[in-house]
Every structure is written in C-alpha cells, then in structure tokens.
Amino acid sequence: MTEGERDMIGRHETARPDGRQRFDLADAYAVETPDDNRGLYARWASTYESGFITANGYVYHLGVAGAFAESATVDDGPVLDVGCGTGLVGEALRSFGPWVVDGLDLSPEMLDEARAKSTGDGSPVYGDLHVADLTATLDLATGGYGAVVSCGTFTHGHVGPGAFDELHRIARPGALFAIGINPEHFTNLGFTARFASDVAAGRITEPVVHRVQTYASGDHVGQVSPVVVFRTLC
C-alpha cells in the first residue's frame, strides 16, 4: 500500500455494519496516481454497486449508453468500454443492441466483477477484458475498434484529455465515441480545447454534447453531466 493510499483511508473510509469499508466520491476524487487507483478499487470492487451505486441512485451509465445508442448502427463494433469498472455500461449497452463489447480497466478486481455479468440469455456481457492504464500506451491493435464508450473514467483524480491520443489510435476511421466526462473536470482540464484542436486537424467530427442525469436520488440528485459524441475521421 502506498503512502497516498494510507492517507486516503485515514481521511475518507468509514466502516459498514458488516465490518467492510464504505467508500464515496471523496475517495475516488482523492486518488493521484495509477497505484492509488489500483489500491482504492481493489478494496472497493466487491461493494461498489451494492454500496455507492445503489445509495446514490447513480444512473450516469444509462445516459452514456443511451447517447451511444442514439447514434450507433449495427456496424459500430466491436465496442471498447474504457474504464469499464464492474460493467454497468456494458450491461446497459447489451440491453440496447447486439453490439460486441470489450472492457478495459486499471483494476483487475473491478474486471472480475464485470466478468461475472451476463445478458438475459446467459451469455457474458463482455468479450475480452483488458487490464490497462489509460495514461500509458495500450497493448491493443491500431484500428481494432469501431466504437469507444466511457463513463466515470474522465473525472477528478483519473484521466485527462491526453488519453485520446491512444483511444484514437485503437479506433478505426469512422469509429463512434460516446465519452462521459465529469463537468468540472471537463472545464478545468481543457477538454473543450482538445476537441476543438482535433476537429481543426480533421481527426474527428464536430462533437455533440448530451447533458444526462448523473444521480436519480441522494445528495447529488439533479446533477447532470456531459456525454460527448463524435466520430473519428482518420
């Protein structure tokens, strides 16, 4: 455990009645390094949905999947779910359409939760699942994906706009992107400038920004967050 992880435990974690730790947005926003992320989500994976998702009425993943489905065709695949976590976005996507979905996440423990998810007919939600760090070069083939989705990854303490260099590389020309971005992170990290630069360079189409509900209940009810939708051009 890193010094940063120990510090996070002291500041944010509280005990559940069953003795397991309870985590919240403060924990997620406090991480600073990939190792901090791995440590937090290793401890959080088994209670992420039963705790945080349920307690906060988190529905952002449904908005991201819905924004994708509005623009997608049956040819937009395979889909890479970036920062897939426990698999909420993949589960929603498979309920909207017959896409082949792979997942990528920094945390092996979160991927274990995603791996256990299945569709109504009993087939796995995900095909391939990859442990990978979005701040580094991805061990994925160039042009291998017809779509990229993401929810909960482009946020405080996690990933900035520089990750699009690799995401564009692994997407083929014409690939559909539907990327959820924390609203403050969007403003503070320069996502608008990044998208404008990519449009000017002929890399992507003009992005369409959907504003979707983030939480259906709890302390953050009423918050909306952007989902940026565009296609690659090269």
Q: Where are the domains of the chain?
A: 3-56, 60-231
Burial class (CB in 10 A: 0-12, 13-18, 19+), 73: exposed
Measured distance CA(160)–CA(153) in Å, rounded: 9
Q: Is residue 155 within 8 Å of residue 225, measured between CB atoms?
A: no
Residue with tokens 């994708």: 68
145-154 vs 171-181, strand pairing mode: parallel
- Residue-level pLDDT at 139: 97
Q: With left for phi above 0 and alpha for psi between -120 and 50, is residue 152 left, alpha or beta?
A: left
Q: What is the pLDDT of residue 116?
A: 95
In the numeric block, the tokens 């000017």 are attached to 200
Identify the residue whose tokens are 């990044």: 194
Residue 66 to residue 165: CA distance in whole angstroms: 25
Separation of alpha carbons 51 and 99, rounded Å: 29
Q: pLDDT tens-digit profile of 82-122?
A: 999 999 999 999 999 899 999 999 889 889 999 999 999 99
- Which pTM value belongs to this model? 0.83
Percentage with pLDDT > 90 across the chain: 64
Q: Please determine, for residue 40, whether its predicted confidence score (pLDDT) is greater than 80.
A: no
Whole-angstrom Cα distance, residue 36 to residue 29? 11
Tell how far CA 51 is from the center of its chain: 18
101 torsion bin: left (phi>0), alpha (psi -120 to 50), beta (else) = beta
Tokens 């090269």 found at: 234
Q: Looking at domain 60-231, which CATH architecture does it have?
A: 3-Layer(aba) Sandwich (3.40)
Entry field: residues in the chain:
234
Q: Please, which pLDDT band fits residue 37 given cuts at 50, 70 and 90? A: low
d(CA 227, CA 177) in angstroms, rounded, equals: 10
What are the φ/ψ torsions at residue 5 (nearest 5 degrees)?
Answer: -65, -40
pLDDT at 217: 87
What's residue 26's pLDDT? 47
3-state helix, strand and coil shares in percent for the chain, rounded to the nearest 5: 40, 25, 35
